């Protein structure tokens, strides 16, 4: 592993709070079975929502899996505050989060825009 790759891996681990080794492995096929709760907002190109305020809903297809899990954990803990996302994240187990992250990080999902 070259120095740049090693440093990037260490930075990603530090960003994820050092929890990557403890996180369950995600399964993209299981994640695909759980996306219904995400697709209502994140599956519509250019979608905007009016709750709690009007804003553009971000695309999550192609998102890095460690970031995706960390974001869901932050919604679940209340570190990030959005009523809809907090409610959804509260219903997810660590395995659910890992599976969804694996699905959305998959190259085929990113290129399909789902």
Does residue 37 belong to any structural domain of this protein? yes
**Structure pTM?**
0.72
Please tell me the distance from the alpha carbon of residue 77 to that of residue 73, in angstroms, as a whole number. Answer: 6
In-domain check, residue 73: yes
Answer for the pair 67, 15: CB distance below 8 angstroms, yes or no. Answer: yes
What tens digit of pLDDT does each residue of 45-84 get? 777 777 667 778 888 999 999 999 999 999 999 999 988 8
Is there a domain that residue 16 lies in?
no
Distance CA 21, CA 108 (A): 25
User: What does the alpha-carbon distance between residue 87 and residue 76 come to, in Å, rounded to a whole number?
Assistant: 8
3-state SS class at 11: helix
Residue 78 belongs to domain with CATH number: 1.10.760.10
Would you state the pLDDT for residue 14? 55
Confidence (pLDDT) at 112: 60
For 102, how many CA atoms within 13 A lie in the half-sphere containing its CB?
A: 18
């Amino acid at each position: 592993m070259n120095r740049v790759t090693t440093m990037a891996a260490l930075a990603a681990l530090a960003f994820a709070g050092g929890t990557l080794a403890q996180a369950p492995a995600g399964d993209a096929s299981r994640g695909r079975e759980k996306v219904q709760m995400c697709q209502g907002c994140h599956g519509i190109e250019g979608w905007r929502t009016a709750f709690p305020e009007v804003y553009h809903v971000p695309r999550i297809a192609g998102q890095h899996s460690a970031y995706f899990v960390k974001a869901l954990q932050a919604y679940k803990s209340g570190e990030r505050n959005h009523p809809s996302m907090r409610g959804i994240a509260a219903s997810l187990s660590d395995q659910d989060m890992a599976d969804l992250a694996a699905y959305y990080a998959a190259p085929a999902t990113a290129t399909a825009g789902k």
